[in-house]
C-alpha cells in the first residue's frame, strides 16, 4: 500500500529520534512491500527559526493532506532559549496546541506498559507488579474544563475565578466509541473514570458510556470514581486494560500511569480525530539537556510509529512486528542511558534504531 506521512522532527532530541523511527518504518516497507512518502513539516522552535511563528497554514495543510503525522517533540530550555523571550502565544508549545486543534484531535491515547526487562525502574513493589501491567488511557482532549468559558470577576472587592466544565452527548459518545473499539483489539475491558457522585457532567458521561457499551457486548464495562482510580493505579495497576476518561482527569491520570512504568523514554502516544487520521508522538519532551549527543532513547518514538501503523494505516501485523522487535532488543540486553542497568550493553540513539530495524 502507498501512504503519505507527515514527519515533524521538531526541536531538541526530536530530529534524532524521528530519524530512528523512520529507519524502522523503512524496514517495514521493505519487508511488507509498502511505500511511504514523507513530507517534512516544521513545528515549534524549528518553525520559529524559519518562519517567525511556531505553526504556519502551509504546515497545517501538509499535515491535513497526509494519512498520519509522526512527530518527535518540540520546545527548548525555557531559561536559555530565545523562543521563550517571545509572548506565550508565539512560543513553541502554542504551535502544538494549535495543530491539535486544527486537526480536531479529540482522542488522546497513552499506553502504560511495563517491560519485564525494565522492572527495576518501576517504583512499585514486586508483589504489586506481579506479572506486569499493560494498560492504555483514552483521554478526551478537546472538551471539558480546559476548553470551557473562563473568567475572573470581582464581587464586593473580592476576586473570583470561574472555569466551566461542560460536555455534550456527542463529545462523550465519540470518545467512548474510540475506547470500546480499542478494547476490542485488546483484553476487552473498559474502566470509565468519572466523578458521578458529584458532577452533572460525569452523570451524563456515565449514561452515554453505558449506551455505547450496548453495541459492544463482548467488552466488560466498569465505572470508577477518579479519586479511587488515582489510588488503584499504584495499588493494583494490573486490573486495568482500557481507561476511558474526560480531559482533566485524563491529564492527571496519564502522567501518574506513565510514572509507574518508571521509563519516560519508552512511552508512546497518539491523538486521533473522527477518521483514522492521527498525530503520533512520544510522551516525553524534547530533552534539550541531551540533544545532539546520540544519547536519547528512540523507543517511545518507534512505538508511536507502531501505533500509527495500527490505528491510522490499519497495518496490525506490521505494528505487532515493530513492537516485537523492540521487545527482542530489550531481551538481548541493549539499553540507552535512561534505562541502563547492570549487566546490560549501553548503546546510543542510532545504534538502538539500527538494532530494532534489524529485528
Q: Enumerate binding residues for ligand NAI (CB under 6 A).
A: 13, 73-76, 93, 96, 264-265, 281, 284-290, 296-297, 300, 338
Count of residues making up the chain = 359
Residue 264 interface partner, choices ligand NAI, Mg ion, none, CB cut-off 5-8 Å depending on type:
ligand NAI
Question: Which residue's Cβ lies closest to Mg ion?
Answer: 251
- Contact partner at residue 176 from Mg ion, ligand NAI, none, CB < 5 to 8 Å by partner kind: none
Exposed, middle or buried: residue 18 (CB in 10 Å: 0-12, 13-18, 19+)? buried
Selecting among 64, 189, 195, 328, the annotated active-site residue is 195
110 is in an annotated binding site: yes
Q: Which region among 232-240, 248-256, 264-272, 313-321 touches Mg ion (by CB under 5 A)?
A: 248-256
* Sign of the alpha-carbon dihedral angle for 168, 271, 316, 284: negative
Which of the choices ligand NAI, Mg ion, none does residue 251 contact, using the CB cut-off of 5 to 8 A by kind?
Answer: Mg ion
Query: 288 a known binding residue?
Result: yes
**294 annotated ligand-binding residue:** yes
Q: 71: which 3 cell numbers?
A: 512527530
Is 84 assigned a catalytic role?
no
Q: Is 251 in the site for Mg ion (CB under 5 A)?
A: yes
319 vs 146: CA distance, rounded Å: 33
Active site residue 255: yes
Residue 263 labelled as part of a binding site: no
Q: How far is the CB of 78 from ligand NAI (least distance, A)?
A: 6
Whole-angstrom distance, CA of residue 280 vs CA of residue 108 = 10
Catalytic residue selected from 146, 189, 338, 350: 146
Q: What are phi and psi of 25, to 5 degrees?
A: -65, -35
Report the nearest approach of Mg ion to the CB of residue 219 (Å). 27
Relative to beta strand 158-163, strand 189-194 is unpaired
- Is the separation of the CB atoms in 67 and 277 below 8 Å? yes
Active-site residue flag, 194: no
User: Which C-beta is closer to ligand NAI: that of 78 or that of 231?
Assistant: 78
CB closer to Mg ion out of 251 and 351 = 251
Task: Check binding of 256 to Mg ion (CB under 5 A).
Answer: no
Alpha-carbon span 265 to 246, nearest angstrom:
25
> Is position 119 annotated in a ligand binding site?
no
Q: 231 and 128 in contact (C-beta within 8 Å)? A: no
251 catalytic? Reply is yes
Ramachandran quadrant class, 284 (left: phi over 0; alpha: psi -120 to 50; beta: rest) = beta
Q: Is 195 labeled as catalytic in the residue annotation?
A: yes
Question: Which of ligand NAI, Mg ion, none is residue 181 near (CB under 5 to 8 Å by kind)?
Answer: none
Q: Is the CB of residue 210 less than 8 Å from the CB of residue 194?
A: no
Name the segment binding Mg ion (CB under 5 A); options: 12-20, 45-53, 250-258, 339-347.
Answer: 250-258
Render 199-215 in DSSP notation, one character per residue: -HHHHHHHHHHHHHHTT
**N- to C-terminal Cα separation, the chain:** 22
Q: Which of 66, 34, 45 is nearest to 280 (CA)?
A: 66
HSE-up (13 A, CA, CB side) for residue 294: 8
Tell me whether residue 6 or residue 297 sits nearer to ligand NAI (CB atom): 297
- CB closer to ligand NAI, 99 vs 219: 99
What DSSP state is assigned to residue 224?
E
Return all residues near 309 (Cβ < 8 A) that are at least 6 apart.
Answer: 28, 315, 316, 318, 319, 322
In the complex, the smallest distance separating the C-beta of residue 45 from ligand NAI, rounded to whole angstroms, is: 8
Q: Residue 175 or residue 302: which is nearer to ligand NAI going by CB?
A: 302
- Least Å distance between CB 254 and Mg ion? 7
User: Cell numbers at residue 221, please?
Assistant: 464495562
297 is in an annotated binding site: yes
295 assigned to a ligand binding site: yes
Residue among 227, 236, 314, 316 flagged as catalytic: 227
Q: Is 338 annotated as a binding residue?
A: no
Q: Which residues are annotated as a binding site for substrate?
A: 100, 110, 139, 227
Residues annotated as catalytic are 146, 195, 227, 251, 255
Judged by the rule CB under 5 A, the positions of this chain that interact with Mg ion are 251
- Residues making up the binding site for NAD(+): 285-297
Amino acid at each position: 500500500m502507498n501512504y503519505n506521512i507527515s514527519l515533524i522532527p521538531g526541536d531538541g532530541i526530536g530530529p534524532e529520534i524521528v530519524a530512528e523511527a523512520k529507519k524502522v518504518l523503512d524496514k517495514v516497507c521493505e519487508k511488507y512491500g509498502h511505500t511511504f512518502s514523507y513530507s517534512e513539516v516544521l513545528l515549534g522552535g524549528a518553525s520559529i527559526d524559519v518562519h517567525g511563528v511556531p505553526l504556519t497554514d502551509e504546515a497545517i495543510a501538509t499535515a491535513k493532506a497526509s494519512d498520519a503525522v509522526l512527530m518527535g517533540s518540540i520546545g527548548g530550555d525555557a531559561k536559555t532559549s530565545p523562543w521563550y523571550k517571545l509572548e506565550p502565544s508565539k512560543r513553541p508549545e502554542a504551535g502544538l496546541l494549535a495543530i491539535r486543534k486544527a486537526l480536531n484531535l479529540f482522542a488522546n491515547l497513552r499506553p502504560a506498559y511495563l517491560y519485564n526487562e525494565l522492572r527495576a525502574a518501576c517504583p512499585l513493589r514486586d508483589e504489586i507488579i506481579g506479572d506486569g501491567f499493560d494498560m492504555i488511557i483514552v483521554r478526551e482532549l478537546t472538551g471539558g474544563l480546559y476548553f470551557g468559558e473562563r473568567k475572573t470577576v470581582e464581587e464586593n472587592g473580592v476576586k473570583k475565578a470561574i472555569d466551566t466544565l461542560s460536555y455534550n452527548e456527542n463529545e462523550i459518545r465519540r470518545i467512548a466509541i474510540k475506547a470500546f473499539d480499542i478494547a476490542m483489539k485488546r483484553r476487552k475491558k473498559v474502566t470509565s473514570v468519572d466523578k458521578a457522585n458529584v458532577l452533572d457532567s460525569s452523570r451524563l458521561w456515565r449514561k452515554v458510556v453505558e449506551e455505547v457499551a450496548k453495541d459492544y457486548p463482548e467488552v466488560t464495562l466498569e465505572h470508577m470514581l477518579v479519586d479511587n482510580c488515582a489510588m488503584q493505579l499504584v495499588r493494583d495497576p494490573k486490573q486495568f486494560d482500557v481507561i476511558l476518561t474526560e480531559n482533566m482527569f485524563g491529564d492527571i491520570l496519564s502522567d501518574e500511569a506513565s510514572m509507574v512504568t518508571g521509563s519516560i523514554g519508552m512511552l508512546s502516544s497518539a491523538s486521533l480525530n473522527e477518521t483514522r487520521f492521527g498525530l503520533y508522538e512520544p510522551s516525553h519532551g524534547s530533552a534539550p539537556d541531551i540533544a545532539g549527543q546520540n544519547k536519547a532513547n528512540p523507543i517511545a518514538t518507534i512505538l508511536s510509529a507502531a501505533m500509527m501503523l495500527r490505528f491510522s494505516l490499519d497495518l496490525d501485523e506490521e505494528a505487532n512486528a515493530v513492537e516485537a522487535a523492540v521487545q527482542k532488543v530489550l531481551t538481548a540486553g541493549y539499553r540507552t542511558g535512561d534505562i541502563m542497568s547492570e549487566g546490560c550493553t549501553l548503546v546510543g540513539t542510532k545504534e538502538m534504531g539500527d538494532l530494532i530495524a534489524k529485528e
